[in-house]
Amino acid sequence: MPPRPANRFDAASHRYYAGSVELVSVTTLLERDGQLDSWWFTEESRDRGQWVHARTAEFDLTGESGDLSRHEEWAGYVRAYESFRRLVPCRFDLVEVPLYRPDLGLAGTPDRGGLVYGRETVLDLKTGGPLEWHGRQLALYDILRGQLPPGTRQRIGLYLSTTGKFKIKPYTLTSDYREAERLLSGLRRTA
């Protein structure tokens, strides 16, 4: 059997590859379908998201969030995550780990994967409010994660606020998976 091509993520361009073949990201797939509107995505939101994700990942990997004073205006999001981790029983085996499905032509980086309340979970951190496409995004991440039949894992949006509070939103609609499959079938036709 020939060796499988190495998967890689180019962080500078936010692109995923299986060998020399570029895979479509979950975000790009949702954008192409018109489900993501660019109004919510600004340079500030990108910088905030990257900073919050880096601090919360550091917390999960080391138990420390690092220096929050650099962006005190965003520190509440990290404090909200720390509060979530203190109050909610969870154990993550994936923290910001790129996942690849060359067979689907798809890749992406779910924020967390593991156990929440003792159940297999895919979890996404958000620094804004719930949007319609979040459930579909999580369904695609669940499919990327594999190992379990789609829909077996719980899907959670964790909405962090600047006040240090958080809200947990479970996504339970099976229609999110039908929509994910529709998107993937269109991707397979163009791959």
- pLDDT at res. 191: 44
- pLDDT at res. 6: 80
Task: Residue 166: name the closest of 76, 74, 69 by CA.
Answer: 76
Classified as helix, coil or strand, 7 is strand
- pLDDT at res. 2: 53
- pLDDT at res. 104: 93
- pLDDT at res. 159: 98
Task: Residue 23: name the closest of 136, 109, 94 by CA.
Answer: 109
- pLDDT at res. 84: 98
Burial (Cβ within 10 Å: 0-12, 13-18, ≥19) of residue 31: middle
Cα(58)–Cα(49) distance, rounded to whole angstroms? 14
Classified as helix, coil or strand, 13 is coil
Classified as helix, coil or strand, 45 is helix
Low-confidence ranges of the chain (pLDDT < 50): 189-191
Q: What domains can be seen in the chain, in order of their start residue?
A: 7-190 (3.90.320)
